[in-house]
Structure 1
Amino acid sequence: MVYNQKIRKIAQICGIVLLSIGLTACGSNQSGNGSSSQSSKGQQSQTRQMTDAMGHKVNVPVQPKRVLASYMEDYLVALGVKPVAQWSVSNGIQEYLQDDLKGVPTISYDLPFEEVQKFKPDLIIMNSASMVEGGKYEQYSQIAPTYVASKEQNNDWRKELRAVGKVLNKEAKAGQVLADYEKTAKKAKEKLAENGRTPSAAAIWLVNNKFFIVSQNVSSGTVLYNDLGLKVPDVVKEISAKAVSNWNAISLEKLTELDADYIFLINSDKNSATELDSALWKNIPAVKKHHVAEFSANSSWLYTGTIANQEIIRDVLKTIDK
């Protein structure tokens, strides 16, 4: 089902396809008069040889022009790079990035070879080895040099941003983006703790009348609890201890035990969310206190990255710091 696909793809909820390729071309600088030297430089395609997480020697363009990094668009936008295509599933795209990705065509999340070939990338970034297993790497690398960022599914967005920055030859920019984010998060954390009592909170996703709760140290969970220092409710700790993905199923009965001061509800069901009318939901402590902030599936809460996380921080401050 679509929501299962999204669960495994969001803010690292699975290892959704991320590619990094470098188009190679050789050439040597010729000595001679000014005009022949300029002509040589114009014909030369500059590359750097890099070793990816799987040990492949990949010739990556020094200045890639046609980057495809599906589901890593947050990092690309933060680094000032517009991809040739953007990640999509049957029911949507990353809406929170559309001001920057306006006009960028979509590509299916599973990156069909024919579609990838159509976009003629000169650099593709894959986020995990699982996305190129079974001979897929060889097929992608025939389209363009392919760089795999991690052996495992990477749940550390900071490491992933730095990895993308390195492949794109934008390491300094990545460092500055991270430094700016840390300042924003630190300031927000201090603001939330000003009264001497740090509140607790939980992020819940409602889709097809089923509830999911974010794990403690991934996706929006790491923003709430690590970056902003909000208290982790016991229910979140319990579910996180045995979590297998970023968002984990939780029953409405279990939610009544949620000892959170605030709930951030991502409502994919909109007006068809019948569970929100139930007595059990209305008996949850934060609901009874009217401490529920509701967001649509188009918001950044289901994703991760510098831009997504900054939007989450703004949402938290608007909700709690009233």
Structure 2
Amino acid sequence: MPFLLLVVLIVSACGNKETTNANNTSKSEAETVTYQSETGPIEVPAAPQRIVALTNGPNVLALGGNIVGIDQWTNMNPLFQEKLKGDEVVSEEDLEKIIELEPDLIIAGSHMKNLDKLNEIAPTVVYTWGKLDYLTQQIEIGKLLNKEKKAIEWVTDFKARAETAGEAIRAKIGNDATVSVIESGDKEFYVFGNNYARGTEILYQAMKLKMPEKVKELALESGVYTFSSEVLPEFAGDYIIFSKNPDGDNSFLETATWKNIPAVKNGRVIEINTKASTYSDPITLEYLLKIFEKSLLDN
């Protein structure tokens, strides 16, 4: 066979292979699956490449999803800032911005505006806050991103580790020892039940630690209870997880009301950063689990 003809055949074959690969890639990116959302079945990309997460961004990040648009609160969280560097901050009001991002999937809250318009831009899946527990929510995001196996593996492993840590902590501090999770606001305080982030899911659900009776009475069902500084001691457990805003007014920490609480006197206050603790995704949960293990076991 003449050399020139051989070269032509080889080049032609390579060109055909590249065309085939390009077609396969295009087909793969264009493939869709049916996701059973809370509003009904919806066609979504089998492998979404450009996600606008108006909610549940941390859950997406934990599974390695590629976010191009994010809500302002997640963007402000110190745990996620590095991962979100360069991403556009958007809300459901920023329709033109979202169009420019060319998303192939949008995740939104069921309470948000413009859901129909968002769905015209890209398939939009909505979640109602609090409808799913914190672990089931991660599995649902796994299903949505076609990464259910990875999500389930993490859930199984995390539950086992958190429960084991809980057993060790209860053995150390006593089965009847109480823990309260308290946060300071501008002019008020908050105490949390067992499903309101700030690590409450870990402490009360996974570790099975006890909350004070007054907290159980006023915050367990509602998730959070607001009170004034005068009654702060009434909500303090044997141990206090104090959610502290580093930019807030924390002058109350110098008051006699705070200093005379037994948990404070006994050095049983564990501070967590409010800005890094308001979600219940795997990244946040792993961060808080380490803090709780070290603080409660070393105390």
2:94 counterpart of 1:126: no
Out of 203, 207, 217, the position equivalent to 1:228 is: 207
Matched with 1:309 is 285
The structure where helix makes up a greater share of residues is 2
Question: Could you report, residue by residue, the CA deviation over 1:5-26 in whole angstroms, capped at 9, with x for unpaired residues?
Answer: xxxxxxxxxxxxxxxxxxxxxx
Tell me which residue corresponds to 1:5: none
Report if the CA contact (8 A) 1:66-1:122 is conserved. yes
What secondary structure is seen at the aligned counterpart in 1 of 2:72? strand
Which structure has more relative contact order (CA 8 Å, sep 6+)? It is 1
| Counterpart check, 1:267 vs 2:244 | yes
Alpha-carbon distance change, 210 to 155 in structure 1, aligned in 2, over 3 angstroms? farther
Asked if 1:106 is matched to 2:105, the reply is no
Give the structure-2-normalised TM-score: 0.83
2:69 paired with 1:88: no
1:187 and 1:71, CA in 2 relative to 1: closer, same or farther beyond 3 A? same
SS where residue 102 of structure 1 aligns?
coil
Q: In 2 relative to 1, CA 115–204 (structure 1 residues): closer, same or farther, beyond 3 Å?
A: farther
- Distance, in Å, in 2 between the alignment partners of 1:40 and 1:112 is 34
* Maintained 8 Å contact 1:71/1:87: yes
Amino acid at match of 1:48: V
| Aligned counterparts of 1:49 and 1:92: Cα–Cα separation in 2 | 29
User: Which residue of the partner structure matches residue 16 of structure 1?
Assistant: none
Query: Cα offset for 1:319?
Result: 1.7
Distance in structure 2 (CA, Å) of the matches to 1:271 and 1:87: 22
Confirm or deny: 8 A CA contact 1:257 1:284 kept in the other structure: no
**Could you tell which deviates more after superposition, 305-314 or 213-222?**
213-222
Is 1:143 the counterpart of 2:121? The answer is yes
| Runs of 4+ more than 4 Å apart | 33-40
SS in 2 for 1:249: strand
Q: Would you say the 8 A contact 1:258–1:284 is kept in 2?
A: no
Q: Cα deviation per residue 1:127-181 (whole Å; 9 max; x = unaligned)?
A: 4x3225xxx222001111112244x643511121111111111111111111221
> Which protein has the larger Cα radius of gyration, Structure 1 or Structure 2?
2
Equivalent position to 1:75, from 34, 38, 59: 59
CA distance in 2, matches of 1:35, 1:195: 63
Cα distance, 1:43–1:230 mapped onto 2, change above 3 Å = closer
Percent identity at matched positions?
27
The alignment partner of 2:275 has SS state of coil
Q: CA RMSD in A?
A: 2.6
TM-fit CA distance, 1:92: 6.5
Structure 1's unaligned 5+ residue stretches are: 1-32
TM-aligned CA deviation for residue 269 of structure 1: 5.5
Tell me the TM-score normalised to structure 1 length: 0.77
Q: How does 1:58-73 map to 2 (within 5 A)?
A: 58-73=42-57
Matched, 1:117 2:95: no
Letter of the 2:217 partner, please give it.
E
Look up the match of 1:163. 140
> Could you tell me how far apart the structure 1 residues matched to 2:139 and 2:242 are?
30
SS at match of 2:66: coil
Aligned residues: 279
Secondary structure of the structure 2 residue equivalent to 1:263: strand
Does residue 54 (structure 1) correspond to residue 39 (structure 2)? The answer is yes
Which residue type is aligned with residue 83 of structure 2? D
1:42-98 deviation per Cα after TM superposition (whole angstroms, max 9, x unaligned): 44321113342112x422111110012233122112212231122214x96121123
1:183 to 142, 149, 160: 160
Question: Within 5 Å, which residues of 2 pair with 1:279-290?
Answer: 279-290=256-267
Contact 1:185 1:227 in 2 (8 A): yes
Q: 1:200 to 1:253 in 2, by over 3 A?
A: same
Q: Specify whether residues 40 and 254 from structure 1 end up closer, same or farther in structure 2 by C-alpha distance, changes over 3 A only.
A: same
**8 A contact 1:201–1:232 mirrored in 2:** yes
Q: Read off the aligned partner of 2:89 and give its amino acid letter.
A: T
